[in-house]
């Protein structure tokens, strides 16, 4: 069995390279010197438990993972899981960027409107009306990434948020028009049936 220092060294090198960090960059992130990182990776020493915890948190693994020897199969599985988690995080960030931009613009417009003509309706115009656009953006990303669950949820959101906008628009013209939400029920049923049919056709 390999020495604990060598096991930690191999795991640290692999994780650092997966994150595409240099020794200096890793050292900076954990507030240590690059010389110490170099010693760890050469198997000359192992950091104390507090530093091990900081390294584990940085790479999204446990302390036990850092000091445990892994077979090639385990490494492949770990690398795949790690890559998937990073990919998911990147996708979420990419999808949120345009939505956050829309909300930032909406906030700017809201503040401007409140200064010129204060009204509670400004909040609906600025924060409720753009919601279907946010749902549409999320739906496009779901379709591009071929994630049926995300696509289904965002399509449903798009329908109901559009109906919500229609409710407020009609509500500003007449006293009350809650029956507009009834229109969404058959549409939602059709959406659910459509996704069920798609899923059924994909079965061998």
In a shared domain, residues 100 and 30 = no
Please tell me the predicted confidence (pLDDT) of residue 121: 84
The residue out of 15, 37, 70 marking a domain boundary is: 70
Q: Give this prediction's pTM.
A: 0.49
In a shared domain, residues 92 and 66 = no
Contacts of 129 (CB under 8 A, 6+ apart): 165, 168
Q: Please state the φ and ψ torsions of residue 9, each to the nearest 5 degrees.
A: -60, -45
Question: Is 176 inside a domain boundary?
Answer: yes
- The SS3 of residue 203 is coil
In a shared domain, residues 176 and 98 = yes
In a shared domain, residues 65 and 94 = no
- Look at phi and psi of residue 60 and say left if phi exceeds 0, alpha if psi is from -120 to 50, else beta: left
Count CB-CB contacts under 10 A for residue 87: 11
Segment 22-44, tens digit of pLDDT: 999 999 989 889 899 999 999 99
Which residues constitute the domain of residue 9?
A: 4-70
In a shared domain, residues 98 and 185 = yes
In a shared domain, residues 12 and 54 = yes
Angle subtended at Cα 173 by Cα 169 and Cα 177, rounded to the nearest 5 degrees: 70
DSSP 80-121: HHHHHHHHHHHHHHHHHHHHHHHHHHHHHHHHHHHHHS--TH
Please tell me the predicted confidence (pLDDT) of residue 42: 92
In a shared domain, residues 93 and 193 = yes
In a shared domain, residues 149 and 190 = yes
User: What's the distance, CA 66 to chain centroid?
Assistant: 26
In a shared domain, residues 28 and 125 = no
Segment 54-81, tens digit of pLDDT: 898 888 788 888 888 876 656 555 655 6
Question: Is 76 inside a domain boundary?
Answer: no
Question: Is 191 inside a domain boundary?
Answer: yes
Segment 152-173, tens digit of pLDDT: 889 999 999 998 888 887 766 5
- We report the CATH number of the domain holding residue 64 as 1.10.260.40
Using only C-alpha atoms, what is the Rg of the chain? 26
Please tell me the predicted confidence (pLDDT) of residue 52: 93
The residue out of 38, 70, 102 marking a domain boundary is: 70
Question: Is 169 inside a domain boundary?
Answer: yes
Confidence of residue 204 (pLDDT cuts 50, 70, 90): very low
5-19, 21-35, 151-165, 173-187: segment of lowest average pLDDT: 173-187
How far is the C-alpha of 62 from the C-alpha of 66, rounded, in Å?
7
Q: Residue 129 pLDDT more than 60?
A: yes
Nearest alpha-carbon partner for 67 in 15, 143, 130: 15
């Amino acid at each position: 069995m390999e020495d604990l220092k060598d096991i930690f060294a191999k795991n640290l090198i692999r994780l650092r390279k997966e994150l595409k960090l240099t020794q200096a960059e890793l050292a900076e992130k954990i507030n240590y010197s690059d010389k110490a990182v170099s010693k760890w990776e050469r198997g000359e020493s192992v950091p104390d438990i507090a530093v091990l915890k900081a390294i584990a948190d940085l790479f999204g693994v446990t302390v036990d993972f850092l000091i445990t020897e892994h077979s090639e199969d385990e490494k492949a599985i770990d690398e795949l899981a790690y890559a998937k988690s990073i990919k998911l995080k990147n996708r979420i960030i990419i999808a949120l960027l345009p939505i956050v931009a829309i909300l930032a613009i909406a906030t700017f417009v809201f503040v401007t409107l409140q200064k010129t003509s204060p009204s509670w309706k400004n909040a609906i115009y600025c924060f409720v009306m753009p919601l279907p656009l946010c749902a549409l953006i999320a739906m496009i990303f779901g379709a591009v990434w071929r994630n049926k669950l995300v696509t289904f949820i965002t399509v449903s959101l798009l329908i109901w948020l559009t109906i919500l906008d229609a409710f407020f628009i009609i509500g500003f013209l007449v006293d009350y028009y809650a029956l507009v939400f009834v229109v969404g029920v058959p549409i939602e049923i059709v959406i659910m049936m459509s996704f069920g049919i798609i899923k059924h056709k994909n079965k061998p």
